[in-house]
Amino acid sequence: MTLIEPMEVAVKAKLCVEQVGMVFERDGKSTHVLENIDLEVGDGEFVCLLGPSGCGKTTLLNAMAGFLAPTSGTIRVDGEPVRRPDPRRIFVFQERGVFPWLTVEGNIEFGLFKLTRAERAARVAQYIRMVGLKGFEKSYPHDLSGGMKQRLEVARALAVNPDMLFLDEPFGALDSITRLIMRGELLRIWEAERKTIVFVTHDIDEAVQLADRVVVMSARPATIQQIVPIDIAHPRDISSARYLELRDGIFKQIGLAHRI
Amino acid sequence: MSPGSARGEGGEEQRPAVSTGPVHDSHAATMNWRVQWRPLAFIAFLLVLWHYGVKHEPSHLLPGPWGVVGGLVDLLHHGLLLKYVVASLYRVTWGFVLAVVTAIPLGLAAGWYRRAEMALNPIVQLLRPISPLAWIPIAILWFGVGDLAAIFLIYLGCFFPLMLTAMGAVENVPSVYIRAGRNFGLSQSEVIWRVVYPAVIPQLIVGLRITLGIAWLVVVAAEMIAVDSGLGFLIVDARNAGNRYDLVVAGMVAIGVIGLLLDLGMRSLEKAQSFRWGYTEDEA
Ligand SMILES: Nc1ncnc2c1ncn2[C@@H]1O[C@H](COP(=O)(O)OP(=O)(O)OP(=O)(O)O)[C@@H](O)[C@H]1O
Ligand SMILES: [Mg+2]
């Protein structure tokens, strides 16, 4: 038998962003939003994109998910160029993307149309349990709280068993307590399912609490300023010296003062 | 804005729990009773005013309420009221249903394909301000005096508002829903069927209600000229055949009552829809 090649053992890059640039043309004016973005995300890795408001984080995420074609450069997933959205890579929206005309069950079931009835029911039950929405199967989204809706959307995404999740400030609209709880839940789910996650935020603490690596982006036109690996094991102690050191480093990098 | 969220606020609004005992309860009931009967009391007041006004100044300007009741009884007696109501409803039904099945798919498609909309829009905007009544001569020329001409006019009156409602509703569907649909691997026709269609239903129902009201306005006008039966015809005929103004007003009363009933019916449809979206009962 042949030997396993050493390359195969190393962590494979799931997502490759190569020299991506994005220019929007509007009213004859062109806006350079992304410039020379190079990034590799490993299989099962949790990466946070961090940057000032309006720098182009959503734009980059949209391009990765196949909703937008970059003006230049290529984006590959598993070596294949990304051309269109795909159920293997689900985008969880900043605005609430759950369908108001479907119940909790109906929403989770939405992407499962290729499965048999029994498989569907099993999946729905599994993810309702996972995100803690048991007892709300027949509820409609506007009877749920903001955090529950966000969990529902994550459940809908996970139910189709994607390889990757793109999350665009998913907890941005939640209160700070719910946000903390949701971060814990997301980490728990990520550890259970090991999806590759690209998570956009402009909250430095959020990025350092969640990510394996934090990608710090500059103001528009966005370039990658620095990639900070967060070498703290989960569960992370957010008062530990290393946590504070990493967080402060990013603060400095972005050019923010420590006092207000 | 999604009608769901608007309704959500209404749905979550809690009535204060009534715990102050029977005194409070009966008080609330009395209030409720008063609020409900106030419009009826007002109508009664107007009827009395009408009655004494006509009595005080007995001219031929208006028949009194009893005269109108007599007219209604007269019409019922001859079987005309029922016959004309059925004739009018028949035309409204056909004109309205034909408009619904053509204008809504067309409007949905036009809203979906921006290009098509741009091709259609100037024509729609040009035809829309033309009152359906302006089409009466052409309707008679094409279809002769009869049901078809009236149905055609109602169809025209309903078509444009319905089409514009459907177009607007599609354009207002939040793009996150459509993107989510595409993300889960739906084809374009599946996105339309599983995302766009349920998302536009609440707006369409409102549009249907408004349009049915228009249809009811148009049928009366159309019947005055283009046919020889129906409530509109009744009004013209009563005047021509010997100035029976009691019958004229009786016809007006019938038109008002039926219009009200149609609107109530459509409103209950709206409520049913909100029920389905807003609460946890049955699943589609
Ligand atoms: N379709 C478009 N046409 C023109 N300009 C656009 C378009 N989409 C985004 N932009 C511009 O690109 C820039 C980056 O937008 P983007 O939404 O990616 O920022 P962001 O980093 O996600 O911001 P935020 O943190 O506020 O969500 C903005 O200045 C925006 O105005
Ligand atoms: Mg954004």
Ordered structural domains, chain B, with CATH: 65-278 (1.10.3720.10)
* Dihedral over Cα of A231, A237, A239, A240: its sign: negative
Whether A75 and A203 map to the same domain: the answer is yes
Residues A78 and A154 in one domain: no
Residue A83 maps to a domain = yes
pLDDT of the residue at B273:
58
Token pair in block for residue A22:
């994005």
Query: Has residue A8 been placed in a domain?
Result: no
Q: Identify whether residues A123 and A144 lie together within a single domain.
A: yes
Residues A110 and A219 in one domain: no
What pLDDT score was predicted for residue A109?
94
Range of lowest pLDDT (A11-15, A97-101, A154-158): A11-15
Is A136 inside any structural domain?
yes
Both A170 and A157 in one domain: the answer is: no
A86-111, pLDDT tens digit by residue?
Answer: 999 999 986 578 999 999 999 999 99
ipTM, interface predicted TM-score of the complex: 0.87
Residues A47 and A71 in one domain: yes
Interface contact flag, B283 A111, Cβ < 8 Å: no
Question: Where a domain ends, among A161, A184, A199?
Answer: A161
Residue A224 in tokens: 């990658």
Q: What is the mean pLDDT of chain A?
A: 87
Let me know if residue A113 belongs to a domain.
yes
Cα(A70)–Cα(B251) distance, integer angstroms: 67
Residue A2: inside a domain, yes or no? Answer: no
**Cα distance between residue A162 and residue B62, in whole Å:** 75
A83 in the same domain as A42: yes
Q: How far apart are CA B144 and CA A166, in angstroms?
A: 64
Question: Which residue, chain included where needed, has tokens 């690996």?
Answer: A229
Q: Looking at the structure, do residues A171 and A82 belong to the same domain, yes or no? A: yes
For an interface test with A, give the residue of B14, B176, B184, B193 to mutate (most A CBs within 10 A): B184
- State mean pLDDT over A18-30: 90
**CA A182/CA A175 separation, integer angstroms:** 10
Asked if A168 and A83 sit in the same domain, the reply is yes
Collapsing DSSP states into helix, strand and coil, what is residue A170? Answer: coil
Same domain for A34 and A66:
yes
Name the pairing type of β-strands A13-26 and A80-81.
Answer: unpaired
Q: Which domain holds residue A57?
A: 13-88+164-253
Question: Angle, nearest 10°, between helix axes B231-240 and B197-225?
Answer: 20
Q: Give the pLDDT of residue A259.
A: 62
Does A94 fall in a domain? no
Q: In which residue ranges of chain B is pLDDT below 50?
A: 1-22, 278-284
Q: Do A97 and B279 touch (CB under 8 A)?
A: no
A118 and A233 part of one domain: no
Tens of pLDDT, residue by residue over A221-253, are 888 989 999 988 988 888 899 989 999 888 888
Q: Encode pLDDT of B222-236 as tens digits.
A: 998 888 889 999 888
Please report the pLDDT score of residue B117 as a whole number. Answer: 58
> What pLDDT is recorded for position B35?
78
Summarize pLDDT for A26-74 with one digit per residue, the tens: 888 988 999 999 999 999 999 999 988 888 999 999 999 999 999 999 9
A221: cis peptide before it, omega within 30°?
Answer: yes
Classify the phi-psi angles of B41: left when phi > 0, otherwise alpha if psi is within -120 to 50, otherwise beta. Answer: alpha
Using CB atoms within 10 Å of the CB of residue B15, give its burial: 0 to 12 exposed, 13 to 18 middle, 19+ buried: exposed
* Identity of residue B239: R
d(Cα B95, Cα B156) in Å, to the nearest integer?
8
Q: What is the number of structural domains in chain A?
A: 2
Q: Is there a domain that residue A259 lies in?
A: no
Q: Give φ, ψ of A258 to 5 degrees.
A: -90, -10
In this prediction, residues A211-217 reach a mean pLDDT of 93
CATH assignment of the domain containing A207: 3.40.50.300
Which amino acid belongs to residue A51?
G
**Is the same domain home to A170 and A247?**
yes
In a domain, A5, yes or no: no
Instruction: Identify which has the larger pLDDT, B269 or A115.
Output: A115
Poorest-pLDDT segment among A15-19, A181-185, B147-151: A181-185
Contact yes or no for B203/B4 (Cβ under 8 A)? no
Measured in whole angstroms, how far is the alpha carbon of residue B164 from the centre of its chain? 16
Residues 6+ apart with CB under 8 A from B188: none
Q: So what's the pLDDT on residue B275?
A: 52
User: CA separation (Å) from A246 to A123, A180, A207, A232, B186?
Assistant: 39, 19, 11, 10, 42
> What is residue A161's three-state secondary structure?
coil
pTM of the predicted structure, to 2 decimals: 0.77
How close B161 gets to chain A, by Cα (Å)? 25
Give chain A positions within 8 Å (CB) of B283: 103, 105-106, 138
Report the share of chain B in percent with pLDDT over 70.
81
Q: Is there an atom of ligand 1 within 6 Å of A62 CB?
A: no
Q: What is the CA radius of gyration of chain B?
A: 24
